[in-house]
A and B are shown apart, each in its own frame.
Chain A
């Protein structure tokens, strides 16, 4: 099957500063690719390059088989893009705005109404279609932005932080929508929230300081990140050196007198042994919580890994 997106050796410089450095990846139909990175990692720049808003300083992008530079029109026909700030003409109503977008994307006159109706239904905008965008809440504005990106049923949908500013309920709806879209489109979605990737993506890429440091399926990601963290609170202070003897524990940090942080391997999960050992030693186990892994941890582990290898 042909790849919907082929990005080869993309680089982008702002003057001397290198925002994106030699990034290559592909996206196939049915994939939802999570683009993960900290602020300033180069996510938005990559997105902008994919959508023809910025030209790469070097490298090549093909969308649905068309070169984005040389066959821009054909390439963009198969592209729906929601930038980090939704591009909305706030003086228009939702209906007017979507109609304009429909004609910009070359939807034939007769199909516009239907396409708009469908997009509004998908994004839950049917009730507000006659209101001015300026008067809508941020969440609704974000939805209009998404509606605009999926309006013309493009093969490739690029969403730059689509859930920003939405309430938890809306976030759930949008994630569901993304999963749904992923079934017969190729979707790229950038975010800095790990759970978002885990919930709605099939693939994940992590970008750090302009460089791609991970390109995996979600399953592969879980395998890759072979470290877990436990927070342990005890009545009496523990003896770290004796704990370290337990197989699977890589390091221990002292947080306070009675609290420690234990970093361990996920494959050989030592949680049970730790609990048993603490109880056996009579330190008085009060709390043992697995810490939800943050981006930070993943970066640390990945960058460390990169450093090692």
Chain B
């Protein structure tokens, strides 16, 4: 009987030109949006191809299309549902149904399914558009399916609301307004949660858009699906109850109200329970919504609360992207919290944490913290890995000869860097060999920066012995400084005369050729997974001079257009091939290692520049990260989890001329015209009867 009513309802829609027109108009609007997206993708395609973790065709075209379809259907559904019961009541045709041997649930469900048939048609038309791209591209069909499902659930919820309003309202217009108002309210709830720093869990749950987006991402979560199912059930039950109202015995009315309340309570409880026990499935092709196994394992090994604080301006798109990433972690660790703070709202805090305009995410764990300027799974997981290490380590900085000190505040000092180390439980201590003539053995690393005066012979001996005995060393020299040559010689390295200059630096808006930029890193544990540019002001090139026990590996290299300039760095400078100058690419940092047996490795890094960690330049692009990475490797705290980027498989779209025409004309002209013509024909034919 449900089917009888549903099919009648569905057919009735197509007897008048109304449904045909709605379909045609929707088709034109959505086809236009779709074609714009396709065009945007075609324009982006070459750039996307070069990006490693770029979104694919499906990511770029499908979610916006279905999102827009959702918004448009929010406007259209009330018009389609307003007449369902309301018009029957006004035209007095409802009594036909009420006096027939059918139950109220037959009527309600029949009407609901009938209109849902039209909605399915609309969703089918929408889905057809991305599917047509299969003519010239691969698609992530899982994601496409997730989007269709999301839209179906969304529209089913809209329709249920419309049905209820149509049952309650006295006039179809009132029903339409009521539906629209209610849906808009549920939609808007999301805005309030997205913009404010504080989030309201209840509002967030009620927001229909949030659940829609969650499913759209391709991650089918039981919470989202059950939200929609409960939503639909609630409104169908309410519709049923309101239809029953006139047909109730006086005695049973109170009972009936109580039953309605009880059902609503039950549904509410079910909703509450559904948030507690969630199951999910990632149906995208490359599981782009799931955390890698390594990250999951790491999370399981962290017993304490993790606090993420995102200092990000109020940009809903950016914030939701971060929230989505963090949600993946949250699913595996309950006591992980994310708070958004608008940097403009807390300027002191922002300044204290040295957060720049692009914002940053601070990760706190057991009193230690990491700052992330760029957040993805790889960076966040590795930050957590660093934080997981609770040990306190000591790093010794040699002082007493005018070196850069780890607590100094002068431009060339390393005070900022020292503070950053401290934040990660790496204690920097200054050592003056004149007062204590021994390198402390609790120290995991000795840092030598270019001294202003020569070291005493005894001191050099002490350091040499330290190196020979297997101590880790970070040596930062500067052009023209030869006080550490003896040590470099021990390591088999030699400093080239002159200053490294790079004509390429101009491209990045730096007017000083002595600023050397590094962006393409060589394969080394220090630079693994590192993508940010680093800047080295006034660096000296290094070269391997003689055989040593150490295995030197080039860490940083200048560009081909660089050379060592021996002349003054003023005016127009040119490469002088006849002199001492050397043409790039030139190495200016080496990582050296030596196996000491017992699986112990001695690690040494030599950089021809000390300025990049100085207070003046530490904040430049990735310098701090590079410094921390060097220290972490040197003190053997270089565990790194390699999380391969998820490469979209649908990056290419090659449509033949014919396919382009077929897609463009088909969706934008042919289908809408066909729909209109069919509607007009049927209307004309029936009118004459």
**CB neighbours of A87 from chain B (8 A):** 91-96
Contact pick for B103, options A73, A104, A135, CB 8 Å:
A73
Q: Return the chain A residue nearest B247 by Cβ.
A: A55
Interface assignment of B97: CB less than 8 Å from any CB of chain A: yes
Q: A58-B250, A73-B101 are in contact. List 12 more A-B contacts (CB 8 A).
A: A51-B95, A52-B247, A53-B246, A76-B99, A79-B101, A83-B95, A87-B95, A89-B93, A100-B4, A104-B5, A105-B100, A148-B96
Contact of B101 among A13, A74, A135 (CB under 8 A): A74
Interface flag for B262 (CB, 8 Å): no
A213 to chain B, nearest CB (A): 24
Contacts of B100 in A (CB 8 A): 76, 101, 104-105
1/0 per residue, CB under 8 A from B, across A83-100: the answer is 111111111110000001
Q: Is B279 part of the contact surface with A, judged by Cβ < 8 Å?
A: no
B298 on interface, CB distance cutoff 8 Å = no
Asked if A57 meets B95 with Cβ closer than 8 Å, knowing A73-B101, A91-B15, the reply is no
Asked whether any CB of chain A lies closer than 8 Å to the CB of B98, the reply is: yes
B654 in the interface, Cβ–Cβ < 8 Å? Answer: no
> In the assembled complex, which residues on chain A have CB atoms less than 8 Å from the CB atom of B686?
91, 132
Closest chain A residue to B16, Cβ basis: A91
Contacts of B1 in A (CB 8 A): 104, 106
Pairs A–B under 8 Å by Cβ, sample size 7: A53-B99, A54-B246, A57-B250, A69-B249, A76-B100, A89-B93, A103-B4
Contacts of B353 in A (CB 8 A): none
Chain A: CB-nearest residue to B4: A103
Cβ-based interface call for B684 (8 A) = no
CA of A57 to CA of B222 in the docked complex: distance in angstroms?
44
A4 to chain B, nearest CB (A): 15
Q: Which of B101-124 contact A (CB under 8 A)?
A: 101-103
Q: Does B324 count as interface, using CB distance less than 8 angstroms?
A: no
Interface size class of B (residues with CB under 8 A): 20 to 34
- State whether the Cβ of A77 lies closer than 8 Å to any Cβ in chain B: yes
Q: In the complex, which residues 77-132 of chain A have their Cβ closer than 8 Å to any Cβ of chain B?
A: 77, 79, 81, 83-93, 100-101, 103-106, 130-132
Q: Mark B1-17, 1 if CB is under 8 A from A, else 0.
A: 10011001000100110
B438 at the A/B interface (Cβ < 8 Å)?
no
Expressed in whole angstroms, the minimum distance between the Cβ of A45 and any Cβ of chain B is: 11
- In the complex, A142 has a CB within 8 A of chain B: no
Task: Mark contacts of B66-104 with chain A using CB atoms, 8 A cut-off: 1 yes-contact digit, 0 otherwise.
Answer: 000000000000000000000000011111111111110
Q: Nearest residue in B to A160 (C-beta to C-beta)?
A: B95
Q: Is residue B645 contacting chain A, with contact meaning CB distance below 8 A?
A: no
Residue among B93, B95, B103 with the highest chain A CB neighbour number at 10 A:
B95
Chain B residues with Cβ below 8 Å from A34 are none
Contacting residues, chain A, for B246 (C-beta < 8 A): 53-55
Whole-angstrom distance between the alpha carbons of A75 and B249 in the complex? 17
Contacts of A52 in B (CB 8 A): 98-99, 247
List residues 154-198 of chain A with CB under 8 A from any CB of chain B: none
* Complex: chain B residue closest to A11, CB-CB: B250
Interface residues of B in 507-539 (CB under 8 A from A): none
Q: From A102, which residue of chain B is reached at the shortest CB distance?
A: B4
B98/A104 in contact, CB under 8 A: no
Main secondary structure of the interface of B (DSSP, over half): helix
| Chain B residues with CB under 8 A of A76 | 99-102
Question: Which of A57, A79, A86, A93 is the one whose CB lies under 8 Å from B249?
Answer: A57
Residue A228 at the B interface, CB < 8 A? no
Q: Mark B663-689, 1 if CB is under 8 A from A, else 0.
A: 000000000000000000000001101
**Among residues 9 to 25 in chain A, which have CB atoms less than 8 Å away from a CB atom of chain B?**
13
Residues of B within 8 A of A92 (CB): 12, 15
Query: A91-B12, A100-B8 are contacts. A56–B249 as well, Cβ < 8 Å?
Result: yes
Does A132 contact B12, Cβ atoms closer than 8 Å? no
Q: CA of A54 to CA of B94 in the docked complex: distance in angstroms?
A: 12
Closest B residue, CB atoms, query A133: B689
Is A48 positioned at the interface, with any CB of B under 8 Å from its CB? yes
The answer to whether A106 and B16 touch (CB under 8 A), given A48-B95, A57-B249, A132-B689, is: no
A93-B15 Cα distance, complex, nearest whole Å: 11
Task: State A6–B100 Cα separation when bound (angstroms).
Answer: 19
**How many of A's residues come within 8 Å of B, CB to CB?**
41
Q: Which residues of B contact A72 (CB under 8 A)?
A: 101, 103
A89-B12 in contact given A54-B246, A57-B250 (Cβ < 8 Å): yes
Tell me how far the C-beta of B241 lies from the nearest C-beta in chain A, rounded to whole angstroms.
14
Inter-chain contacts of A55 with B (CB < 8 A): 246-249
Distance between A137 CB and nearest chain B CB, rounded to angstroms: 15
CA distance A52 to B249 in the complex (A): 11
Among all A-B residue pairs, the 5 with the closest Cβ atoms: A87-B96, A76-B101, A57-B250, A85-B92, A81-B99
A104 with B92: in contact, given A69-B249, A91-B15 (CB under 8 Å)?
A: no
Whether A81 pairs with B95 at a CB distance below 8 angstroms is yes
A73 CA to B102 CA, complexed, in Å: 6
- Which A residues are in CB contact (< 8 Å) with B687? 132
With A83-B95, A148-B96 as contacts: A130 and B689 at CB distance below 8 Å? yes
From residue 148 to 199 of chain B, which have CB atoms closer than 8 A to chain A? Answer: none
Closest Cβ–Cβ distance, residue A52 to chain B (whole Å): 6
Residues in A whose Cβ lies below 8 Å from that of B96: 87, 101, 104, 148
Nearest neighbor of A57 in chain B, beta-carbon distance: B250
How long is the Cα–Cα vector from A85 to B92 in the complex, in angstroms? 7
CB neighbours of B91 from chain A (8 A):
87, 90
Taken residue by residue from 536 to 574, chain B's Cβ proximity to chain A (1 for < 8 Å, 0 otherwise) reads as 000000000000000000000000000000000000000
**In the complex, what residues of A have CB within 8 A of residue B4's CB?**
100, 103-104
Using known A-B contacts A130-B689, A135-B689, determine if residue A51 contacts B98 with beta carbons closer than 8 Å: yes
Of B1, B248, B250, which is in contact with the most chain A CB atoms at under 10 Å from its CB? B250
A89 to B15, CA, bound (A): 12
Cross-chain contact of B689 among A53, A79, A88, A131 (Cβ < 8 A)? A131
Q: Which residues from A are CB-within-8-Å of B98?
A: 51-53
**Closest residue on chain B to residue A101 by CB atoms:** B96
Once bound together, how far apart are the Cα atoms of A29 and B4, in whole Å?
A: 31
Cβ contacts under 8 Å, A104 to chain B: 1, 4-5, 96-97, 100, 102
A139–B295 alpha-carbon span in the complex (Å): 78
> Which residue, of B12, B15, B91, B101, has the highest number of chain A Cβ atoms within 10 A?
B101
How far apart sit A75 and B100, CA to CA, in the bound complex (Å)? Answer: 10
Q: How far is the CB of B78 from chain A (nearest CB, A)?
A: 21
Q: Is the CB–CB distance between A83 and B92 below 8 Å?
A: yes
Contact of A51 among B5, B16, B99, B249 (CB under 8 A): B99
Bound Cα distance A274, B102 (Å): 62
Could you tell me the distance in whole angstroms from the C-beta of A21 to the nearest C-beta in chain B?
Answer: 13
Chain B 241-253: CB-based contact to A (< 8 A → 1; otherwise 0): 0000011111100
Closest CB in chain A relative to B89 CB, distance in Å: 11
**Nearest CB of A to B283, in Å:** 40
CA distance A105 to B16 in the complex (A): 26
* Minimum CB–CB distance for A298 against chain B, Å: 29
Residues of chain A with a CB closer than 8 A to B247's CB: 52-55
Beta-carbon nearest neighbor of B107 in chain A = A104
